[in-house]
Copies of this chain bind each other. A is one copy, B any other.
Amino acid sequence: MLAKSTEYAIRALVYVQLKNWEGKRPGVVEIAREIEAPEAFSAKILQTLTRHQLLDSAKGRGGGFFFNDEQTELSLYKIIHVMEGDGCFHRCGFGLKSCNNNNPCPLHDQYKVVRDSFYDIVRKESIQSLSEKIKKGEAVLKRSIT
């Protein structure tokens, strides 16, 4: 499972992408409201993302957050890496100090499959691909109904 801050980060970036496609640059207050995350915390997270250049921002009047047009697809993996590191893709599911094919724990064979599948997902999926689905109405950014 991803850390809460990582989930907020991904949802925030998806929202920014959707607004950018409409030619808009949302600010912290709007983003926090739309992804249902605390405002001040969202600000911190967006700051982290821009500091690591996964996102651009403009200060002052008319400012906000946006993706540089030059920018290629932004994979979920990159976001996870910046927000919480990539330990979860390497660690042993049984809690041993490291995961090792040649000296496996009793969960290794099965756990590795699951861990690698998740890794594949976050390498392949991106802010753009997720946003597409939402734009097409195939998925939602927040729950209308419970």
| Bitwise interface map of A from 1 to 32 toward B, beta carbon under 8 Å scored 1, else 0 | 11010011011001000000000000000000
Interface stretch, picked from A47-55, A56-64, A100-108, is A100-108
Minimum Cβ distance to chain B for residue A143 (Å): 5
A88 contacts partner chain B, Cβ-Cβ < 8 Å: yes
Please name all residues of chain B whose beta carbon is closer than 8 Å to the beta carbon of A121 when the two chains form the complex.
Answer: 107, 110-111, 114
Please name all residues of chain B whose beta carbon is closer than 8 Å to the beta carbon of A93 when the two chains form the complex.
Answer: 1-2
Main secondary structure of the interface of A (DSSP, over half): loop
Minimum Cβ distance to chain B for residue A56 (Å): 23
- Once the chains bind, are A106 and B133 in contact (CB under 8 Å)? yes
- Once the chains bind, are A104 and B140 in contact (CB under 8 Å)? yes
- Once the chains bind, are B107 and A125 in contact (CB under 8 Å)? yes
Please name all residues of chain B whose beta carbon is closer than 8 Å to the beta carbon of A141 when the two chains form the complex.
Answer: 105-106
Please name all residues of chain B whose beta carbon is closer than 8 Å to the beta carbon of A88 when the two chains form the complex.
Answer: 1
